[in-house]
Structure 1
């Protein structure tokens, strides 16, 4: 259920991590210490608050992205990069060859933009991913802090690493 923390409002991440951590037995201490240091932030020795984690919360928390219907990942960018790299077809192209490939890519995008303006839908997501996004959005929009344990279980059932 640790993965479910990414789908909580930022204001609830600390308290819900502490609640969840209390449910683990001692065999998970190393995992919890790592997770807390890397993603949550260790508690300060004196005073309130936590130290800054290795990865800031805004980098991994997707609650607001789901609420506003934005992508949860950069998979589309990675996909474009891989496709462009395969179109270039050489590891170290000359400037001339790279410029030509970029010009072709620009032309392709201008056609795609024209199609979007005309009402076409470009490459819809696979149905399984569309359904997954809908389930996650439904769960996130129905977030109830009083039902946190069930919420985290439901998110974890839908999200895999």
Structure 2
């Protein structure tokens, strides 16, 4: 399965919703920009073209073109509904721990190999915990943020995209 440009047959309906939401947002944004100077509008139009090519897909000569990054990769709606992690923070944490454990720039291969063996053992333990449904407790701040975002997602309506995005923004930034 290719990472780039793979929306897949089963996700066509969801891709249409994303494209419809994108079109609504661009119309609203361009409406706001029309009131400002022409060079700002040109920059916004260029940005929106880039965004459509990279993230939502577009129509070219009556043919649907896949986005550079498949919607499944960046759209976290399903992850929130299924109560899965929204980000790749776990991989960032792992990388930071590995970097901290090695602590030497350009360290010898055997030092890195030894640390990777330790990490592998830790990952086996975590995998076994995951398989046996061991529940990992989240920090209260993170759990509260997840709950606020989940509440907003449960009330999502494709017709109110701008309001939905405002609510998600508020829920994600509130402490």
Q: TM-score range by the shorter chain?
A: 0.7 to 0.9
The answer (yes or no) to whether the contact 1:10–1:61 under 8 Å persists in 2 is no
The answer (yes or no) to whether the contact 2:21–2:158 under 8 Å persists in 1 is no
TM-superposed CA distance for 1:109, in Å, is 5.0
Give TM-score scaled by structure 1 length.
Answer: 0.73
Name which of 16, 37, 56 aligns with 2:21.
16
Look up the match of 1:80: 94
| Structure 1: runs of 5+ lacking an equivalent | 1-8
TM-superposed CA distance for 1:55, in Å, is 1.7
Q: Does 1:140 align with 2:156?
A: no
TM-superposed CA distance for 1:117, in Å, is 9.4
What does the per-residue CA deviation read over 1:28-47, in whole Å, with 9 as the maximum and x for residues that have no partner?
A: 32222221122122322x32
Distance 1:145 1:107, change over 3 A: closer
RMSD of aligned residue pairs (Cα, Å): 3.0
Aligned length: 149
C-alpha separation between the residues in 2 aligned to 1:82 and 1:135? 28
Distance 1:10 1:67, change over 3 A: farther
Higher relative contact order (CA 8 A, sep 6+): 1
TM-superposed CA distance for 1:87, in Å, is 0.3
